């Protein structure tokens, strides 16, 4: 009896020691995968093989699997496989491969592709009201939404995530920007972003508030042209109208320029009747904005007294422009020259002056004015007019000047080098 007990104890400890060896319970089973994440609709196969050739069976979340089940069991020379053809959403779970009393498990996660539904890339809200940006997600498993804008996650109380999107409270024009709706699957870490541009509708407001003057003055001289400009920011775009003495100004196509944010009324001062008060009205369905401009009669300046070449470079021409002296004329200080307008064109282009390039300059104390970004080694024809608040003078007679060439510049450097080297060479000879 004592001998039997010793044998049983040794058998127990021997079995225990054997089972402490690596992969004791799975010594003969080999799985091709222990886990996998597969996208919905794809085909996938996992294989189980026993080294000793013992029979292999498969079971899943719903019980035993066979050749006619889904997923189906397929037996081949390389093992007994479980074929998911195709992978369905219900296939997620743990599957067991059994060989006798030995079991090895495989876990399948089915990834359902994320798609966005009813999520327009451009959405509209109205100023001073709440708006909900729509973002609905289809697919995914345990999908969560994260909202960001300009790299920052959006937080209450200004923003609140809703079931079908993002609620933005008390929308202002500053909320007109791009928002990102990010959908993330917690089970797989898969993410997908949808950018949404919010356009806030608002009544017309000054386009450049720091430059805006509701009451403005403009000048023109008899025989001259003047542009009255009205610029606003509005969504929907504003409709512009011009009034003179409270009567709508009927303008020809060429007498007005209408753009989404700007209207320019172009007037030619044939006589003094054109001077007086004008009103610009910008309107959309949310409101209106008015601007008042008083057009006053001014004085046309005289042309410059002096225009001469100061210096040239490879891509620049500098002119010295002086005058005119208008102290002998009885005019308001506001009508004194404020700057110059230079027109220029390459002689080889054969352009008329209406298509020539133009550069405006503010009057400088050193009387030097430089045209830049010109072509090298090119002849330019130029003429100059004086500017003041009422417009420009007649142009001076044109003059032709030429930019420097690369060859001339290299020659100048060589000449300077020789000049500096000569005294040294002369000293060596002595």
Q: What is the DSSP string of 354-413?
A: GGSEEEEEE--TT-EEEE-SPPTT-EEEEEEEEEETTEE-PPPPPEEEE---HHHHHHHH
Residue 330, SS3 per DSSP = coil
CATH 2.60.40.10 residue ranges of the chain are: 29-111, 115-204, 207-297, 306-403
Of the listed ranges 220-224, 310-314, 331-335, 352-356, the one predicted with least confidence = 331-335
Whether the predicted model's global pTM rises above the 0.85 cut: no
Strand-pairing partners, residue 47, are 81
Euclidean distance between CA atoms 135 and 152, whole angstroms: 18
Rounded to whole angstroms, the Cα distance separating 108 from 240 reads 64
Give the pLDDT score at 254: 57
pLDDT tens by residue, 129-181: 999 999 999 887 778 899 999 999 999 999 999 988 999 999 999 999 999 99
CB atoms within 10 A of CB 346: 16
CATH top-level class of 306-403 = mainly beta
Cβ atoms of 356 and 293 closer than 8 Å: no
Q: Convert the pLDDT of each residue in 248-272 to its tens digit.
A: 998 775 588 888 899 999 999 999 9
Burial grade of 164 (CB within 10 A; 0-12, 13-18, 19 or more) = middle
Q: Which of 58-62, 234-238, 393-397, 404-408 has the lowest mean pLDDT?
A: 404-408
CA–CA separation, 162 and 177 (whole Å): 20
Q: What is the pLDDT of residue 51?
A: 87
Compute the distance between CA of residue 361 and CA of residue 395 in angstroms, rounded to an integer.
15
Residue 253's pLDDT is what? 55
pLDDT of residue 161: 93
Q: What confidence category does residue 372 fall into, taking pLDDT thresholds of 50, 70 and 90?
A: very high
Do β-strands 102-111 and 35-39 pair in parallel, antiparallel, or remain unpaired?
A: parallel
* Cβ pair 181, 145 in contact under 8 A: yes
Least confident of 119-123, 135-139, 304-308, 317-321: 135-139
CB 313 within 8 A of CB 404: yes
Residue 7's pLDDT is what? 33
User: What is the spatial distance between Cα 322 and Cα 354, in angstroms, rounded to a whole number?
Assistant: 25
pLDDT of residue 22: 39
SS3 for 189? coil
The dotted CATH code for 115-204 is 2.60.40.10
DSSP H helical segments within 61-115, as ranges?
A: none
pLDDT surpassing 60 at residue 18? no
Which range has the worst mean pLDDT, 28-42, 153-167, 398-412? 398-412
pLDDT of residue 12: 33
Kindly compute the dihedral angle of the four CA atoms of residues 309, 311, 315, 319, in this order, to the nearest 10 degrees: -40
| In the chain, % of residues over pLDDT 70 | 87
Are 367 and 392 contacting, i.e. CB atoms less than 8 angstroms apart? no
Per-residue pLDDT, averaged over 58-69, amounts to 95
> What sign results for the dihedral spanned by CA atoms 384, 357, 339, 257?
positive
Average pLDDT, rounded, for the chain: 86
Q: Are 207 and 280 in contact (CB under 8 A)?
A: no
pLDDT at residue 17 above 60?
Answer: no
Q: How many CB atoms lie within 10 A of CB 184?
A: 19
Q: HSE, CB side, 13 Å, CA atoms: give it for residue 203.
A: 8
199, 222 Cβ separation under 8 angstroms? no
Kindly tell me if the per-residue pLDDT of 429 is higher than 80.
Answer: no
pLDDT of residue 28: 81
Whether the per-residue pLDDT at 287 is higher than 70: the answer is yes
Distance CA(220)–CA(127), nearest Å, equals: 40
Handedness of CA 387, 393, 399, 400 (dihedral sign): positive
As a whole number, mean pLDDT of residues 14-41 equals 65
In the predicted model, what is the mean pLDDT of residues 33-54? 93
What is the CATH T-level fold of the domain 29-111, as seen in this structure?
Immunoglobulin-like (2.60.40)
Does the pLDDT value for residue 424 go beyond 90? no
CATH number of 207-297: 2.60.40.10
Query: Which residues fall within 8 angstroms of residue 281, CB to CB, at 6 or more apart?
Result: 240, 241, 242, 243, 288, 289, 290
Peptide bond into 86 cis (omega under 30): yes
């Amino acid at each position: 009896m004592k001998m039997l007990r010793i044998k049983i104890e040794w058998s127990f400890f021997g079995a225990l020691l054997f089972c402490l060896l690596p992969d004791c319970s799975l010594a003969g089973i080999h799985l091709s995968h222990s886990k996998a994440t597969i996208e919905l609709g794809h085909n996938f196969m996992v294989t189980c093989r026993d080294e000793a050739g013992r029979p292999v069976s498969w079971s899943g979340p719903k019980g035993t699997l066979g050749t006619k089940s889904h997923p189906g069991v397929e037996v081949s020379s390389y093992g007994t496989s479980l074929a998911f053809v195709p992978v369905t959403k219900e296939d997620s779970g743990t599957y067991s491969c059994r060989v006798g009393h030995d079991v090895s498990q495989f876990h399948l996660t089915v990834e359902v592709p994320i798609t966005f539904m009813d999520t327009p890339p451009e959405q509209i809200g109205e100023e001073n009201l709440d708006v909900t940006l729509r973002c609905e997600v289809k697919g995914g498993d345990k999908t969560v939404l994260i909202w960001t804008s300009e790299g920052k996650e959006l937080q209450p109380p200004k923003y609140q995530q809703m079931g079908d999107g993002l609620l933005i409270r008390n929308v202002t024009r500053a909320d007109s920007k791009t928002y990102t709706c990010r959908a993330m699957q917690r089970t797989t870490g898969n993410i997908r972003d949808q950018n949404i541009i919010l356009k806030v509708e608002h009544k017309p407001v000054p386009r450049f508030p720091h430059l805006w003057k509701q009451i403005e003055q403009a000048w023109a001289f008899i025989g001259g042209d003047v542009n009255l400009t009205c610029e606003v920011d509005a969504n929907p775009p504003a409709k512009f109208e011009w009034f003179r003495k409270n009567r709508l100004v009927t303008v020809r196509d060429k007498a007005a320029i209408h753009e989404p944010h700007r209207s320019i009324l172009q007037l030619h001062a044939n006589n003094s009747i054109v001077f007086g008060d004008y009103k610009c009205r910008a309107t959309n369905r949310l409101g209106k904005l008015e601007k008042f401009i008083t057009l006053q009669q001014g004085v046309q300046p005289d042309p410059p007294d002096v225009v001469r070449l100061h210096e040239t470079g490879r891509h620049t021409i500098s002119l010295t422009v002086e005058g005119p002296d208008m102290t002998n004329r009885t005019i308001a200080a506001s009508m004194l020259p404020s700057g110059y307008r230079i027109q220029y064109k390459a002689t080889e282009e054969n352009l008329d002056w209406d298509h020539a390039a133009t550069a405006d300059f503010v009057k400088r104390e050193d009387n030097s004015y430089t045209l830049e970004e010109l072509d090298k080694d090119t002849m330019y024809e130029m003429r100059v007019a004086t500017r003041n608040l009422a417009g420009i003078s007649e142009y001076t007679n044109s003059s032709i000047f030429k930019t420097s060439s690369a060859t001339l510049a290299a020659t100048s450097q060589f000449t300077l080098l020789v000049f500096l080297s000569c005294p040294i060479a002369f000293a060596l000879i002595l």
